[in-house]
Amino acid sequence: MSAEDRADISQLQSQVATLIGTDANKSVATIVTEKVAELLIPEDRKADLDTLQEIAE
């Protein structure tokens, strides 16, 4: 394998790691749910939702 090939592989690995980030081992559905919740639920209301979740369980 040439040095250029190794450099290309290294660059690809870096890009993939950036894309995955902290979402490794999560399903697409889980990631989407988390991202939508971040966008739709104000920070000051999250405690209320935690309480509702606890009641539901």
Confidence (pLDDT) at 52:
61
Cβ–Cβ under 8 Å, residues 10 and 18: no
Q: For residue 52, give the amino acid letter.
A: L
Residue 49 included in any domain: yes
pLDDT digits (tens, 9 = 90+) for 1-57: 899 999 999 999 988 888 877 777 888 888 888 888 888 877 777 777 667 666 766
pTM score, two decimals? 0.43
Residue 30 included in any domain: yes
SS3 27: coil
**Domain of 49?**
25-57
Domain count, the chain: 1
Residue 4 included in any domain: no
C-alpha span between 34 and 37 (Å, rounded): 5
Confidence (pLDDT) at 22:
79
Among 48, 22, 51, smallest CA distance to 34 is for 22
Residue 24 φ/ψ region, left for φ over 0, alpha for ψ in the -120 to 50 degree band, beta for the rest? beta
Confidence (pLDDT) at 7:
93
